[in-house]
Amino acid sequence: MDSCARALDGADPDAVEFVRFCRPRRRVGWPELYDEMWAVASRGLFRGYDFTDLEERGIGFSLYGTRALASLAAAVIEEERASAGVDADRRTRSRSAAAIA
Residue 35 belongs to what domain range? 3-100
pLDDT tens-digit map of 12-54:
999 999 999 999 887 788 889 999 999 999 999 999 999 999 9
Beta-carbon count within 10 A of 100 CB:
6
Q: What is the pTM of this model?
A: 0.74
Question: Residue 22: how many CB atoms within 10 A of its CB?
Answer: 24
For the chain, what is the domain count? 1
Q: How many CB atoms lie within 10 A of CB 7?
A: 20
- The DSSP output letter for 24 is G
Over residues 46-95, the pLDDT tens digits come to 999 999 999 999 999 999 999 999 999 999 999 988 888 765 555 555 55
Decide: 75 and 5 in contact? Cβ < 8 Å. Answer: yes
